[in-house]
Amino acid sequence: MNLPDQRRAPRHRRALLLLLLPLLFLLVHVTAAADPAPTQDGRVIVLGFDGGDYRTANEMMQRGEMPNLARLAGQGVFAPLGTTESAESPVAWAALNSGQNPSKTGVPGFVMRELPEGNDGSKGDPMPAIGFYENVTRKVDAENMPEAPWYVLSLAEDGGVKLAIFGGLIALVGFMVIFKLLLRLKLFVAFGLSAVLAVAGAFGALSAGEHVPREIPGIVANPIAVDSFWEVAAKQGKRAVVLEAAMCWDRTPVEGARVMAGLGLPDVRGSYGDWFVYTDDPYELEKPPKGNTKNLTGGTVFKINFRDGRADTVLVGPVDFVALDRVQRELDEQRTIQDQTERGYQATDAAAKRVKELEKQLSELRGERVTTPMVLEKTDDGALSVSIGGRRETLTPGKWSDWYEPVFELSPLIKAHAITRVKLLEQVPGEDRMELFVDVMHLDPRNPLFWQPASQPMAFSKDLAARAGRPFETVGWACITHAYKDKKIDAVTMLQDIEYTLKWREMLTRRSLESDDWDVLMTVFSTPDRVQHMTYHFYDEGHPLYDAEAASKKLKFFGEEITLAEAIPAIYRQIDRIIGMVMDEYLAPNDVLLVCADHGFQSFRYQVSLNTWLEHEGYLVMKEGVTSRMNQGLAFVDWEKTRAYALGLGMIYLNQQGREPRGIVPAAEAPALAREIRDRLLMLTDDSDGNEMQVVEEVAILADVHDGPFLDREGDLMVGFRPHYRVSWSTTTGGIELAKRGDGSYGTGDVIFPNDSHWSGSHVSVAPSSVTGMFACNRPVEVPASGVHLLHIAPTTLRLLGIDPPPGCDLEPLDLR
């Protein structure tokens, strides 16, 4: 093939080539960067099963119901895996991932104590706070949001001034090339037109600055303070892939580690999994965007009205932080003018009036959220047509939709892309009402939010979606357990969603295992935890909610017909199937397979109110004149007389001098008081099951078992109940059981009472020895005398990769043969 002489090429072709050269360079660079690293032998695969209970799995294995686990045990080992104090998922996974105890990780539990700080810097009385994530405001800059688009960072930095100058110069040169070289206009004409267009472009850049915030509030931040084993490995040159792992979102990307976040990752609203029901029920009154949230766990019910069979409504998304920032900036400017007396009375007075207007706007905006349209249309045959984001699907009662892709526009430059599914719920016999369940507004993995990425690096979620050929759920708690807990959906709907979740997580796992671009791969399946939380009242005939007829209801679950009573064994069969799939299809001869869990499970039959017990025993004193409205948030506590109080999932705190603002327990007396409370708790008995039995199995004094810089985030004691008992729902939020007396005053009620919630299985506040997780390996393991503990997983994995565990690890690696 003869190439033309480039010297004789027309001038416009040479100019075009000059413009295309940077694109050619970028294409070559990206292609080269995408080349896979050379393969290596001796990889490590870590399969995590949230809630994988050793006792349950062992019993099923002995009955021949988990043949793949039995095969794995025959090759190596199967043993109980010790868990943390407390056996809560964020606590346990953070410890498992890092090999460090909760006082080092900085993750004390789902709930922790907070001493709120006042405007004067003084500390307020104790109150419950979220313990596994933080809501923060972050500046939009390269340090806080390194993967934000370049134009967003530029506009946020100076309102577009630098971008306007740079863009104007580029536009001037670009238009000169077009007008002079390509169109061959005269020089002064080409320059004049180019200058006008460049100025217009620069002015546009300055205007665009109004559409990008300087800071973003409500970002869900990760409090974990240590590196997980895959971060340590990547820093040593190993390639890691991590799927759906807990407590790993919002981390600085480490080259070589590709991480898809799991537990802890919020939805597009910045919440922990908000769900919705749209209904024309005449007894519901609150329309979008407010809705009814009374007595619901993360859910909102919206009233809609149909006219001629059509209802125009909205999906409710994130807080409009762009508008908030715009108003806040003007408010700051007007406050500055208001204080500048040299400007004169008229200017400062006008500024003062504007400040009041802006303060009102700001207050209103904090409660407002961005919305996007949803149209519902009834059909003659009882179906419902649902239109969201340009996609329409017709649903019959009981049918789930495919993915919708709503987009919430905060500004022309900032959009929040979500994905969600909906289900037309089946009508209750005898009731004429429509109920549409709308799932969580998941972060769209194909269009990640630069302020709240779902993965590290941010592009990894896009890569996973591309490999899967479709989007997937991203919120950390992906299963709709809370909607079932609140009795807004039935058990079948919940289990359908759980099956959907496990299937797409298995698909992502397969796609990643098929790629030869990793040395260590960890994937976590959370569905066993969710099934056990929500179906133990069908499985355990001794549970207060057990109903034989309800437990015998049949459904299709992973292709087999089961009853609700069989849901727990069915999900363990899926665990076994996945283990077999990895062993048979992906495990190479030199690979090591580790199977682990964060904790086990028990039936949750009875609640124990720790604050009520503390009051009965004289450690907690209530205020005079307590009313029923003071039963939460420790509002009932007389701090001048109280020595101990409880909040969170099993933690008891001493009211110590020098720590709590109104503490009365001297530091020198604290250890003895902690031991006294422990000994008294171990004497607590109950006869709810017909025989008097001990309620508390163990009580840990946490300063004796944990060490680290974050010990103050934990309680002084951690209660470990015997199987079937758990800390009460009200204790979690610092509550107490109150009972009205004959004279109209209130005293304390029962300490122990039935759990009447669908949330019928648990592990939190249960003694760790009664909720051991499952551990298995395809190599023989020298099991320590104290047993295998989840703190062994991280250092063992690192040693298998040829890396020395960091000095912060609490246990030595296991010896594999």
With a cut of 90, say whether residue 436 has pLDDT above it. Answer: yes
pLDDT tens for residues 260-284? Answer: 999 999 999 999 889 999 999 999 9
> Is 597 within 8 Å of 49 (Cβ atoms)?
yes
With a cut of 50, say whether residue 24 has pLDDT above it. Answer: no
* Confidence tier at 164 by pLDDT (50, 70, 90): low
What are the residue ranges spanned by the domains of the chain? 150-217, 322-364, 604-768
> Is 99 within 8 Å of 805 (Cβ atoms)?
yes
With a cut of 80, say whether residue 57 has pLDDT above it. Answer: yes
Alpha-carbon span 754 to 736, nearest angstrom: 15
pLDDT of residue 701: 98
With a cut of 70, say whether residue 197 has pLDDT above it. Answer: no
Mean pLDDT: which of 34-43, 147-156, 422-431, 638-647 is highest? 638-647
Contacts of 806 (CB under 8 A, 6+ apart): 99, 227, 232
pLDDT of residue 690: 82
Q: Which two tokens mark 597?
A: 């869990």
pLDDT tens for residues 625-669? Answer: 999 999 999 999 999 999 999 999 999 999 999 999 999 999 999
pLDDT tens for residues 236-260? Answer: 999 999 999 999 999 999 999 999 9
With a cut of 50, say whether residue 473 has pLDDT above it. Answer: yes
pLDDT of residue 233: 98
Cα-trace Rg, the chain = 30
List the Cα angle 531/532/535 in 5-degree steps. 75
Give the mean pLDDT of 188-194. Answer: 67
At how many degrees (to 10) do helices 567-585 and 491-514 cross?
10
pLDDT of residue 162: 64
pLDDT of residue 160: 58
Sign of the torsion formed by the C-alpha atoms of 638, 640, 641 and 647: positive
**300 has which bridge partners?**
276
Mean pLDDT: which of 151-165, 346-360, 687-701, 717-731 is highest? 717-731
Question: Residue 527's CB: how many other CB atoms inside 10 A?
Answer: 25
Tell me the average pLDDT of the chain.
91
Side-chain-side CA neighbours of 672 within 13 Å: the count stands at 5
* Confidence tier at 2 by pLDDT (50, 70, 90): very low
pLDDT of residue 785: 96
